Amino acid sequence: MNALVINCSPVRDGATAEAVKTVSESLAERYEVKSVCIGDFDFGFCKGCRTCHRTAKCVLNDDVDKIMEDFERADVIVSVSPSYWADIPGQFKAFIDRCTPWCNTHEPHAELSPGKKGFVIALRTGASMRECLRIFESIEHFYGHLEIECRGRLGLCSIENKEDLEPRKNEITEFCKKI
């Protein structure tokens, strides 16, 4: 079984990356794990041309296809996202927009293999879970249109730096046991 763990932040060495590392290590006993950072890929913004609604393919040719190949190989997808102004980072939102060819909102559409399970981990600097809920909703909505069944979520508040995750690693590890 294959797991894909996505750092939805463009920052490769911050708190989100540290959470991705903990998730990847926790899953490595049961899965072949691949971790990616959205900031490592080069892709453009959706042009809104709707060509994909007729062809199930985007007119742009860039790294979105590489990421979607990783989605296709994965049985489990774990999206780990920080809060950027109470929602997912813009880079991850741009990626989601570009996944319209795979979304079940139009016919024809490209499809991922069925049976994929999705999980979401949200991090935020403040103490309230409210922003985490918006992140969950954004990513779970995306999963739904890709027909990925969302199976769990974990919100981590008061996380400013990767050092703030140290006392929370057991919580992440326990969450990973459900994956």
Could you report the per-residue pLDDT of 120-153, keeping only the tens digit for each? 999 999 999 999 999 999 999 999 999 999 999 9
> Residue 3: pLDDT band by 50, 70, 90 thresholds?
very high
What DSSP string runs through 17-48?
Answer: HHHHHHHHHHHTTTSEEEEEEGGG---PPP--
Treating both helix axes as pointing N-terminal to C-terminal, what angle do 169-176 and 15-27 enclose, rounded to 10 degrees? 40
User: Which pLDDT value is given to residue 116?
Assistant: 98
Work out the mean pLDDT of the chain and round it to a whole number.
97
Confidence of residue 73 (pLDDT cuts 50, 70, 90): very high
The topology (CATH level 3) of 2-176 is: Rossmann fold (3.40.50)
Domain boundaries, the chain: 2-176
pLDDT digits (tens, 9 = 90+) for 83-105: 999 999 999 999 999 999 999 99
d(CA 168, CA 170): 6
Average pLDDT over residues 5-32: 97
Tell me the mean pLDDT in the region 45-73. 97
What local confidence, expressed as pLDDT, does residue 109 receive?
Answer: 96
The string of pLDDT tens digits covering residues 19-28 is 999 999 999 9
Q: Please enumerate in sequence order all residues whose Cβ is within 8 A of that of 4, keeping only pairs 6 or more positions apart, or say none.
A: 33, 34, 35, 36, 70, 71, 73, 74, 76, 77, 78
Does the pTM exceed 0.95? yes
Average pLDDT (156-171) is: 96
